[in-house]
Amino acid sequence: MSQDAGRGQAVKKPRSKRIRPYTLTGGRTRGRHQLLVETLISVPRYDPALSDKLMPESKALYEHARSQASIAELSSLLSIPLGVVRVLVSDLAAQGAIFIHPTAHAYHHDRHVLERILNGLKRLPV
Amino acid sequence: MDSSGSPSDPGQLTISAKIVVAGGFGVGKTTLVGSVSEIPPINTEAWMTEASEGVDDLPPNGTKTTTTVAMDFGRISLYPDLMLYLFGTPGQPRFWFLWDDLSRGALGAIVLVDTSRLDQSFAAINYFENDSELPFVVAVNLFDGELTHDLDEVRDALALRPEIPLITCDARRPASAVTALQELVSYTLSLAEVSDSGRVRAHA
């Protein structure tokens, strides 16, 4: 599966001419966490020493997450394929370097969240 | 799953929600996202690698399936601790598997329809009727500010089940686009009332 993904990637415009994206993830295409495209991540305690030790893609994710960002935004902003972002973010979370925020979906038994979203839409200045 | 490991006070963390905007080519998805987003809609090609996972029926020669997947998204800060993301689905039928990814965890979907080209949105309606548990509403985009067909006719033409809300919206007008979002969230809430056992979102 991951090999197929790697081959497919070779014919596309990769993020770098020299490295196939899933090389960065050790061939893994899935991380341990369910990361939705809208899932927000942030850095609870920024550690410059840790940042220096990270490989460039993870470092870029770590730095951008200092000001909280979604998986999709990070992917787009850093031009790292979504699947790769998911695996790298998952690794950073496993090290405790970043925090994965819950999404509204985590509260889908809680109508309070839906009501809050509805009220938020109603008070938008449009 | 993504809430596991939350600190004791998750109230301090910003949470995010997502609404999917679907429909065929040229029905106004990007327009709708752009009219309500606080950032310019982001069009990303970052989906490519993921795309390759599911594409095993590539046309033998010719058409490039590995170029841009048009996927726009936008963002609305509803509260300091609550962000709403809007994701426009890629219109190309061969990217259906991306729809599964985009739909996962969403509050619901708005399927935009252009009454002069209803067929453009058949596939999207089919998807949400048959292949997804996501609550969805169908919104007729009023390109010229006018409804050219009676909504009942549109419902018939789309063979839309009576319980699916059918609304109108002018995707260019922020107020109208926001109203459409409200309609969807209200509908999702009403379904949650009917079944608070989580049936509403089977993508869990």
Lowest pLDDT segment from A60-69, B118-127, B143-152: B143-152
DSSP state of A103: B
The whole-number average pLDDT for the span B154-183 is: 96
d(CA B85, CA B75): 5
pLDDT band at B202 (very low <50, low <70, confident <90, very high): very low
Q: In angstroms, what separates the C-alpha of A55 from chain B's closest C-alpha?
A: 19
CB A25 within 8 A of CB A84: yes
- Between chains, do B198 and A121 touch, taking CB under 8 Å as contact? no
Helix crossing, A82-94 with A56-64: angle to 10°?
Answer: 80
Q: Which residue from B minimizes the CA distance to A3?
A: B53
User: Is B48–A9 a contact, with Cβ atoms under 8 angstroms apart?
Assistant: yes
Q: Hey, which residues 41-70 in chain B have their CB within 8 Å of chain A?
A: 42, 44-50, 52-53, 55-56, 66
- Predicted confidence at residue A20, as pLDDT, reads 63
pLDDT digits (tens, 9 = 90+) for B61-109: 444 444 446 578 999 999 999 999 999 987 666 677 788 888 999 999 9
Looking at this predicted complex, what is its ipTM? 0.80
DSSP letter at B52?
A: H
Min distance B185 CA to chain A CA atoms (Å) = 6
pLDDT tens digits for B21-35? 999 888 899 999 999
- Higher per-residue pLDDT: A19 or B174: B174
Close Cβ partners of B186 (under 8 Å, ≥ 6 residues apart): A118
Confidence of residue B11 (pLDDT cuts 50, 70, 90): very low
pTM of the model: 0.80
Q: Give, in degrees to the nearest 5, the angle at Cα B75 between A34 and A113.
A: 65
Angle of helix B29-36 versus helix B174-194 axis, rounded to 10? 100
